[in-house]
Amino acid sequence: LEDACRILKVGVGDAWEKIEAARQKVVLKSSPWLTQDASATQLQLLLDDARRANDAAIVIAARRSGRN
């Protein structure tokens, strides 16, 4: 849980809206509209960050709902 919060730069007790906004901010960076001039390496790093952000949000949501 701490890793997930660190990835999204949020606190454990933050509102879900803040967590979702943090996730969206990271994922948006990998948008095709913003990455059209990126190198393959840069694009892969952004996509990896987006995947980690999505995974982190899933972990936080699961913990909040009582699932592990």
The string of pLDDT tens digits covering residues 11-27 is: 999 999 999 999 999 99
State the CB neighbour count (10 A cutoff) for residue 30: 20
- The predicted pLDDT at position 54 comes to 98
Nearest Cα to Cα of residue 17 among 52, 61, 67, 50:
61
Q: Give me the pLDDT at residue 68, please.
A: 61
Residues of the chain with pLDDT below 50 are none
Handedness of CA 42, 48, 23, 11 (dihedral sign): negative
